[in-house]
Structure 1
């Protein structure tokens, strides 16, 4: 459900651009004041949300897209390239070179998750004190340097320490970027852009597989370094120009932006757009705000499905290990075949985004993704190992629900549109809870000794998808019945 259904928007804003007064679109009715949209315009609006805007607002949104979306997509691409390179490095020689045994691979993932969990909420709180345009790129520069240091690791203990620190610093990215998008885009625009942004992660996962395969073929042994070491070095190098871009591209929020690429009249458009959908400017974080967060339902009901979604889709991280265990494929193929799953992620995520923005509701698209993912995990529960084609199809289906995480956090942006501070805190808590659960659950559900036939893991993934569906239904009910604390319309 879009936030325009929860708030009484202010009248369509009137601002001056280049000395001329223009009327911005009334978000509640989808019209520019004094105009009536044809069926064709409504269809165009669903296809892309700037087609039916005034020329001035269309230019503004396009300009914001050029800067913000370019940066967040590139930055998240680099972040996920790092997260994916561990499994690609593991199946391309790191396991043997560092003599990794038993549950050490899972422990490596867990150390990252512990760091990520501990870094989430502090990073969100720091963004109420330090501008995102300074905070986010600086952390990216530091963790990019640490990624390159992984190439020099001589033992698993060093990797544990580095993965913890990298996770702690990378925790700023996902909730920070979605908070940033919530400062600039309306409900009609936010779902698409959140999902386009998260698709950059899937592209990174695809690219990592091809990159590792290419490095294995062309760089293995060059200058005394193995292909998996070159992967970490390349990942760190790629991130440097992106973080430099961040210092210039991130515009903070419309009311306090110092971005050089925004003209004063464009800031006025940004402010007016947020005012008409009831999205408030950043204010001081107070104890009352924190009390409102923890005595209202969103922080609790969103935490469970977000965590369940993360735990359910964790399963596809073991696709490479399954492929390697079959003995059917070369090292290059083990790295490349999972890219089909990431391509499937991109398609399903974009479908979910366009549908959810088009109908103004998030839940139906999330249920669609759950249906795809749970189909794959149910097949894996039966483990038809004699039917290799069906096994491959099942693994690829487990990728199909990943875009739901962006829609869940977009939904939070909309329900808590009235308070930037509540959004930041709830984002931090929801992410912290989700990754705290991930830190220990995978050790019991995917023990390395059972790879690749994780009997309990496949059943648990199915259960987590079901739990997610139940809580999404509960959110729909609560959203209709109760306003969150602090909401201006709360009785």
Structure 2
């Protein structure tokens, strides 16, 4: 994430800060060199490269690992369900749907309050505490012996996990500039796909432990997930840098923190301010929250993640009949597609498209419509069905782009940015709390025709919303430029008038 050939140098003197900022802005104004499109720090001044190397190494690495364990502990219920838990606990109705819903309800309840807490308290304390909580609850799932116990545990796991994704998106948006943001947000998001992939591989491996210690293979999955999660959660106390205005991380010098604050000032990103009636009125009378929230709602529910479709398709297959290991491993193709497409779209958006987010969002929506309409037909060639199930991962990578766009649109109000980011994720999961009970019913598996049609419609609405936001944001930027130009003309007019008065006095 950094440049391997330069000599590390910190900002030792306060006098260096203006020089580094000026050099950074000069580089930004010049034509980009080819290696900028590989990684955006490569053409920055060496002091800024060193600063960003340390920030990426700490913040981005921890964010990715934390999201990895979040998805590992969120989706392990699907891997366990198709690997013996269903039969051992007699879950033959819609219990899996209810388990997903209990998690979603907890997640929805916690998101917005958590992000508001992050604007008042230190994220480096709040987030790791919640991570430790969900890791401990994951251990407890191994001893659950009925559906009711799992419902309760899943609710509290969702409540604890609600702090992480919107919280870390808020923190990432507090440190990076526009040309850096989509790549980092998408790298962060790809760890969710990696977590889902790893859960499948892990279940295939630990299934062989069935019988040891008096526990089945699916029970061992929860134990091992907790063992992986706990040390990563504890590491957060040292690696989350808070936000620049209160940051005192051990890996950044005092001058580097000041440099980070200056970078955000140049980006127009505001510092934290008190919540007031006027602020709430401003937030909830702006189009931002009412356009960005549906965008994320349509993205988040416009996929097949609400049900383990690929796994259930393989499990229902009679010719050929797949083993438990194959049922867990083959669907990870979908996650691999998500990782590759997510990173590709982020690099294209930041580099080739110069920060434009909407083209990649529209592209992802179009791919989703193509695959979901095909799956709704269902009686299609087997190779095309596998291709469609795999390509559903393409639209799963749009989260980082949606979040990056929200950071940029809400850059002038810190509290609005925190609330909008949380609302996007929260309302998306409000829909996810009940929609799967209607269109992704377990009794319809694996031919979820209602689900595939619903996803196609939501993907179409995603495209319409993205194009609408594009128009609204362009209009807002033009209005802001006109206001800035008017202010400059007014200031210049005042100066001219003052000069004329000075001349008259001399005469």
Distance verdict in 2 for CA 1:484–1:293, change over 3 Å: farther
Q: 1:9 matched to which residue of 2?
A: none
Supply the distance in 1 between the matched residues of 2:472 and 2:85 (Cα, whole angstroms).
48
The yes-or-no answer on 1:401 pairing with 2:391 is no
* TM-score normalized by the length of structure 1: 0.92
Do the aligned partners of 2:51 and 2:252 also contact (CA within 8 Å) in 1? no
Deviation at 1:384, TM superposition (A): 2.2
Supply the distance in 2 between the matched residues of 1:295 and 1:98 (Cα, whole angstroms).
50
Output one character per residue of 1:340-376: Cα deviation in whole Å (capped at 9) or x when no partner: 1100000100011001111211101111211222221
Q: Greater share of helix residues, 1 or 2?
A: 2
Supply the distance in 1 between the matched residues of 2:282 and 2:97 (Cα, whole angstroms).
37
Equivalent in 356, 362, 366 of residue 357 of structure 2: 362
Output one character per residue of 1:419-462: Cα deviation in whole Å (capped at 9) or x when no partner: 21111111122211110001001111011111111111111111
Equivalent in 372, 376, 379 of residue 381 of structure 1: 376
* Structure (1 or 2) with the larger CA radius of gyration: 2
The yes-or-no answer on 1:266 pairing with 2:256 is yes
Local SS of the residue matching 1:361: coil
Q: 1:13 matched to which residue of 2?
A: none
Local SS of the residue matching 1:48: coil
Output one character per residue of 1:319-360: Cα deviation in whole Å (capped at 9) or x when no partner: 211111113211100000011110000010001100111121
Q: 1:464 matched to which residue of 2?
A: 458
The yes-or-no answer on 1:430 pairing with 2:420 is no
Q: 2:501 matched to which residue of 1?
A: none
Deviation at 1:144, TM superposition (A): 0.7
Supply the distance in 1 between the matched residues of 2:477 and 2:415 (Cα, whole angstroms).
17
Equivalent in 410, 413, 430 of residue 419 of structure 1: 413
The yes-or-no answer on 1:322 pairing with 2:313 is yes
Supply the distance in 2 between the matched residues of 1:288 and 1:134 (Cα, whole angstroms).
29
Local SS of the residue matching 1:281: coil
Count of residues paired in the alignment: 469
Deviation at 1:273, TM superposition (A): 0.8
Local SS of the residue matching 2:396: coil
Output one character per residue of 1:70-106: Cα deviation in whole Å (capped at 9) or x when no partner: 1101100000001121100000001011111211111
Supply the distance in 2 between the matched residues of 1:326 and 1:277 (Cα, whole angstroms).
54
Show the 5 A alignment for 1:134-173: 134-173=125-164
Distance verdict in 2 for CA 1:173–1:333, change over 3 Å: same
Output one character per residue of 1:216-268: Cα deviation in whole Å (capped at 9) or x when no partner: 12x11111011111111111111111111100111111111121222111111
Which 5+ residue runs of structure 1 have no aligned equivalent? 1-15
Which 5+ residue runs of structure 2 have no aligned equivalent? 1-9, 487-507
Q: 1:12 matched to which residue of 2?
A: none
Local SS of the residue matching 2:302: helix
The yes-or-no answer on 1:53 pairing with 2:44 is yes
* TM-score normalized by the length of structure 2: 0.89
Deviation at 1:54, TM superposition (A): 0.3
Output one character per residue of 1:370-393: Cα deviation in whole Å (capped at 9) or x when no partner: 1222221011011125x2211111
CA RMSD of aligned residues (A): 2.1
Equivalent in 201, 206, 212 of residue 203 of structure 2: 212
Q: 1:302 matched to which residue of 2?
A: 292
Q: 2:95 matched to which residue of 1?
A: 104
Do the aligned partners of 1:295 and 1:485 also contact (CA within 8 Å) in 2? no
The yes-or-no answer on 1:348 pairing with 2:341 is yes
